Amino acid sequence: MVQVWGPGAVRAVEACFRPARGGGLMLGPAGRLRLGRMGRGAGDEVVAVVLEGEPPAVEIQCHGGPAATELVLEALEGAGVGRAGVEQWAAAQAATRIRAEALVDLPHAPTLRAAEILAEQAGGALDRELEGLDAEIRGGRLDRAIGRADRLLADGRVGVRLREGWRAILAGAPNVGKSRLLNALAGFRRAIVAPTPGTTRDVVTATAAFDGWPVLLADTAGQRAAEDPVERHGIDRARRMADSADLVVLVLDLSRPLEESLGVASGWPRGRSLVVANKADLPAAWGLDEPSLRGLRALRVSAERGDGLDDLTAAIAKAIVPGPPAPCAGVPFRARQVEGLGRVRAALRAGDVAAAIRAIESLRGWA
């Protein structure tokens, strides 16, 4: 999609638009779609529409993909139109800086839920929330203001992840079914599954939605004392990834003695772990109340048959986002916004009303 805006927008597009059925771009009212071609040679087939506004802008939908779009851009440049980045476009579109930031981030949302939340912010939800916060501060209701800032900062932990998603790693001993589980959770055959222990040697990833939250799942090499240097390298990478992941899903094999797969569990961070007892379709070799699990609650799953996957999906979602933002809430979604809110809250805690108001202004204003 190409948008041309500014005082000469319609004239410039008119100069290079070849309508399919006669009549110029401005034939009929604004908002009417016009089919035509743009660009040298045959150019690209496009649908152009004049958008009401003062001055009116023109939106051009190109049909031929990125390379054909270049033909359209080249023609527009010939008509005196300059190129702008998406940030500049958003700044020209949006009434506030935060709404412009949301317009830039929205097309990158990996899931519907992420898109919904960002679309709310593009519609002004966070701006309205900050106006409310400002009103509480100016009204002297500092406790309430601190409460609102706390809530915004809590939601910001979710908001800043909407674009890139969270990272969860499937870890465990060789052959417990990590790759099979990745495929089952991702819904397609991404990783190689084989009965031979040590099948996965590098980190294989797939993005999936868990209750609407985008999560990059990483399948890793099974943890064991490997002789093979390639496998050992994969095992080291898995350990490093586990350290920086948001969540470690430790996979155990329910059909084999627990010691075989639990040995590798030592050292995984407890707070960010979920435990899965896989191969629940086979006769169990141990019980979920084994003392050696040290109170860790394991979820029974059969990656092969799909049993327990809904519960596991829900548990992963809950582990990464324990408290989702309320529907339609104002949610900070950039680190810059979260930092700004941190300054607002610090000023409020210090009782410095003027500094808190300034911090909101700088958070909302164009830098």
Quick one: which of 200, 223, 261, 278 contacts Mg ion (CB under 5 A)? 200
**Least separation, in Å, of the C-beta of 198 and ligand GTP?**
5
Q: How far apart are CA 243 and CA 218, in angstroms?
A: 13
On whether the CB atoms of residues 53 and 31 are closer than 8 A, the answer is: no
121 binds, among Mg ion, ligand GTP, none (CB under 5 to 8 A by kind): none
3-state secondary structure of 6: coil
Buried b (16+ CB within 10 A) or exposed e, 246-272: bbbbbbbbbbbebebbbebbeebeeeb
Buried b (16+ CB within 10 A) or exposed e, 71-83: bbbebbeebebee
Q: Which residue is nearest to Mg ion (CB)?
A: 200
- Check binding of 199 to ligand GTP (CB under 6 A): yes
Q: Which residue is nearest to ligand GTP (CB)?
A: 222
**Least separation, in Å, of the C-beta of 246 and ligand GTP?**
21
Instruction: Note the Cα 28 to chain centre separation in Å.
Output: 41
**Least separation, in Å, of the C-beta of 136 and ligand GTP?**
52
Residue span 20-59 as binding mask against Mg ion, x where in contact by CB under 5 A, dash where not: ----------------------------------------
111 binds, among Mg ion, ligand GTP, none (CB under 5 to 8 A by kind): none
- Check binding of 190 to ligand GTP (CB under 6 A): no
Q: How far apart are CA 343 and CA 14, in angstroms?
A: 49
Stretch that binds ligand GTP, among 42-50, 156-164, 168-176, 264-272 (CB under 6 A): 168-176
Q: 86's torsion region: left (phi>0), alpha (psi -120 to 50) or beta?
A: alpha
- Check binding of 222 to ligand GTP (CB under 6 A): yes
- Check binding of 3 to ligand GTP (CB under 6 A): no
On whether the CB atoms of residues 219 and 204 are closer than 8 A, the answer is: yes
- Check binding of 205 to Mg ion (CB under 5 A): no
Q: Binding-site residue total for Mg ion (CB under 5 A)?
A: 3
Q: Which long-range contacts (CB under 8 A, 24 or more apart) does 78-83 make?
A: 78/16, 79/12, 79/13, 79/15, 79/16, 80/8, 80/12, 81/4, 81/9, 81/12
Nearer to ligand GTP, 117 or 301 (CB): 301
282 binds, among ligand GTP, Mg ion, none (CB under 5 to 8 A by kind): ligand GTP
Residue for token digits 């409460």? 147
- Considering only the C-alpha atoms of the chain, give the largest distance between any 2 of them, rounded to a whole number of Å: 80
279 binds, among ligand GTP, Mg ion, none (CB under 5 to 8 A by kind): ligand GTP
273 forms beta bridges with 248
- Check binding of 206 to ligand GTP (CB under 6 A): no
On whether the CB atoms of residues 72 and 39 are closer than 8 A, the answer is: yes
Nearer to ligand GTP, 46 or 221 (CB): 221
Stretch that binds Mg ion, among 2-10, 25-33, 131-139, 173-181 (CB under 5 A): 173-181
Q: How far apart are CA 357 and CA 212, in angstroms?
A: 35
- Check binding of 199 to Mg ion (CB under 5 A): yes
Nearer to Mg ion, 35 or 194 (CB): 194
Show contacts with ligand GTP in window 4-43 (CB under 6 A).
none
Show contacts with ligand GTP in window 263-302 (CB under 6 A).
278-279, 281-282, 302
Reduced DSSP (H G I as helix, E B as strand, rest coil) percent helix, strand, coil of the chain, to 5: 45, 15, 40
246 binds, among ligand GTP, Mg ion, none (CB under 5 to 8 A by kind): none
Nearer to ligand GTP, 201 or 364 (CB): 201
Q: Is the peptide bond before 107 cis (omega within 30 degrees of 0)?
A: no
Amino acid at 167: R
> Which residues contact Mg ion by CB under 5 A?
179, 199-200
> Which residues contact ligand GTP by CB under 6 A?
174-180, 193-195, 197-200, 221-222, 278-279, 281-282, 302-304
